Amino acid sequence: MSLEDASLDIVPGELLAVVGENGAGKSSLMNVLYGLYHPDSGTFRMDGKPVRFKSPRDAIAKGIGMVHQHFMLVPTLTVAENVVLGREPTKRGLLDLDRACDEVAATAKRFGFQLDPRARVDTLTVGSQQKVEIVKALHRGAQVLILDEPTAVLTPQESDELSQVMRGLVAQGRTVVLISHKLKEVLGVADRVAVMRRGRTVAEVRASETTVSELASLMVGEGTKGAALTGVPAVASETPEAAAGPVVLEAKDLRATGDNGRPALQGVSLTVRAGEIVGIAGVDGNGQRELAEVLTGLRKLEGGEGTLLGGPLAGLTPALAKARGVGHVPEDRLARAVVKAMTVEENVALGRHRQPPFARGPWIDFKGRRERTNQLLTAYDVRPPDPAVALQALSGGNQQKVVVARELDAAPKLLVVVQPTRGLDIGAVAQVHERLREARARGAGVVMVSLDLEEVLALSDRVYVLYEGRVTGHFPRKDLDERELGRRMLGAEGSHG
């Protein structure tokens, strides 16, 4: 998203939140502040003096640090090695690891972080890896710390801990700029909130003087249909009790290996009935992706047994899964769901290109394909609404809309969705949630994997929690509790199962 006359004042010693719909320009503006993007016009001043950053190195030198949503860590290196990377203390021309560990330990202690400098990053939880990123920025002298969607993959307990960290940094005189789509969370931690829309800063308000609904209205524009939303998908619409039907998936003791050769599923059992949404909760990397791939034929089942839509899980292939009536919205749309060089309408027809309205006998029905694609682009507010444009010309959020629209349009009997609303704005999130409920009402069974616990709580009739490839909890809707789910996501066992 381009920036158009975007303005932002960052005051020392405050926590400033920047909110806006997907594509509003939040990340673009932060990338300008961090030296990743160069503005075509406008001015950037620090302490009243104009500055221009050629690269992030210049921003770091001026005391600006940024923690990206996708961490920039080397998994096989230790905490200390990651923090000092590029600025390593040396002894006789070699890395002085003892000194590096001492320096990093001192920085962590100064800001109240509990980190083992000698621990390898790939052994840490997601929350601890995020702390490493923050310590890395602070170790390099950051006075202004930009956090991009920092709680997107954290448990409620980890999110609370991060909130304390942010407030602690502000108390020590640092400035924190928080990019987040979780408006309730923003109001609980920020001093001030800047709202962006279509590349512009449209409002700045004190967090103590506004509400979630008011922020949502500012984000989408007064009078816009989306303005009626609360801005928090988790409470946008309650999910009533499901009138669950026959079993469409019965899985017992599923076992599978991950891409790294290690066990990813270690005895997972679950049941899904027609007419219900079953949520799969967990911290990223605990077997959710592998489970979805087993259920859609993309990953080999190495142990256990099960039936899916009347057939065995063993030997399942993507083609066989689709023939039985399985729909799939994968985690990685570019690798698994689309051909980005093809047009939007060609991507909409993928998997059904031999069926009406995309084909007439052995021939492509160009008119029918165009009409159906136009209907879906309108229904899902895909921008630009042009069936003939290459899919790669669309933003990530609009690509996701195309995938969701295609899979739901096929009226699957079992729908497996992984991160269905990642990259979507408030209006689109609410729309996708409503379409999932409609699929459920039509009698489809839905397996929804999401790292957003609010989304899991909003939609699920039942929830399974995964930790290290095992089920640590199974909750019917009446027993759903955010804190208890967070405990199970961190490996705590309990009575639900």
Q: If 0-12 CB within 10 Å is exposed, 13-18 middle and 19+ buried, where does residue 241 land?
A: exposed
Lowest average pLDDT, out of 146-160, 243-257, 312-326, 364-378, goes to 146-160
- Looking at residue 276, what DSSP letter applies? E
**For the chain, how many residues are written?**
497
Range 29-51 average pLDDT: 89
**Which structure tokens are listed for 418?**
């992984």
Q: If 0-12 CB within 10 Å is exposed, 13-18 middle and 19+ buried, where does residue 9 land?
A: exposed
Please name the residues in contact with 296: beta carbons below 8 A apart, sequence gap of 6 or more: 316, 318, 321, 326, 328, 330, 416
Please tell me the distance from the alpha carbon of residue 303 to that of residue 466, in angstroms, as a whole number: 17
**Which structure tokens are listed for 455?**
């989304």
Position 71 scores a pLDDT of: 83
For the stretch 223-278, pLDDT in tens is 433 333 333 343 334 445 556 799 999 999 999 999 888 899 999 999 999 999 99
Position 239 scores a pLDDT of: 46
Q: Average pLDDT over the chain, rounded to whole?
A: 89
Binned at pLDDT 50, 70 and 90, residue 494 comes out as low
SS3 322: helix
pLDDT of 86 > 80? The answer is yes
- CATH numbers and ranges of domains, the chain: 15-231 (3.40.50.300), 236-489 (3.40.50.300)
Q: Structure pTM? A: 0.72
What angle is formed at CA 186 by the lines to CA 180 and CA 187, rounded to 5 degrees?
160
Q: If 0-12 CB within 10 Å is exposed, 13-18 middle and 19+ buried, where does residue 423 land?
A: middle
- Evaluate whether 24 touches 219 at the Cβ level (below 8 Å): yes
User: Which CA distances in Å does 406 have to 3, 138, 312, 375?
Assistant: 31, 45, 26, 11
Position 191 scores a pLDDT of: 97
Residue type, 425: D
- Torsion angle of the four alpha carbons 277, 278, 282, 286, in this order, in degrees rounded to the nearest 10: -120
pLDDT of 466 > 60? The answer is yes
For the stretch 153-209, pLDDT in tens is 777 888 888 899 999 999 999 999 999 878 888 999 999 999 998 889 999 999 999
pLDDT of 493 > 70? The answer is no
